[in-house]
Structure 1
Amino acid sequence: MNDWAGLDRFLQTDPRDVGCEEAIAMLHVYVELVAEDAGAARRYPGIAAHLRACGPCADDFEGLLAAISDD
């Protein structure tokens, strides 16, 4: 079985994507802004683009967000 859909997603990378290194370096700031509903995606569109494209970084984001949530 092949993963043509995954390949298509990879090939259609958003040019604003900052990559893993920069996204992880700023992830703590981005998570705080998301938690405060302070327009994180508007302020950091490159990180938002990266989190849409990178599963491992998105997992880290979700984990940090869960860690600081009151829920």
Structure 2
Amino acid sequence: MNESSARIERFLHTDPRDVGCDQAMEMLHIYVDLAATGDDATACYPGMASHLRACGPCAEDFEGLLAAVSD
């Protein structure tokens, strides 16, 4: 499977709740705060959780911010 086909496959299997990168970046700090305090961020923002499972760069940003506030 070439890269173009792989991108199409990922798109076709995108969770409809996925908020996308723009909205994820707008609310990432809120999601990180919830996760850092032990609240169920996934239950509060399922579209955000869906996006972070699908988007490596946004997930990396989340992990980095969570590590920064957890130190």
Q: TM-score, structure 1 length as denominator?
A: 0.85
Query: CA offsets, 1:21-55, max 9 Å, x none?
Result: 11100000000101111110000011000000111
RMSD: 1.7
1:59 aligns with 2:60: yes
Identical-residue share of aligned pairs (%): 66
Task: Give secondary structure in 1 for the equivalent of 2:15.
Answer: coil
1:20 aligns with 2:24: no
Q: Moved runs in structure 1, 4+ residues, more than 4 A?
A: 3-7
Q: Number of residue pairs matched?
A: 70
Task: Give secondary structure in 2 for the equivalent of 1:38.
Answer: coil
Report which of the two has the higher share of helix: 2
Q: TM-score, structure 2 length as denominator?
A: 0.85
Structure 1: unaligned runs, 5 residues or longer: none
Shift of 1:6: 6.2
Matches within 5 A, 1:1-71: 2=2, 8-70=9-71
Shift of 1:2: 3.6
Question: Distance in 2 between the 1:35 and 1:56 partners?
Answer: 19
1:35 counterpart letter in structure 2:
A
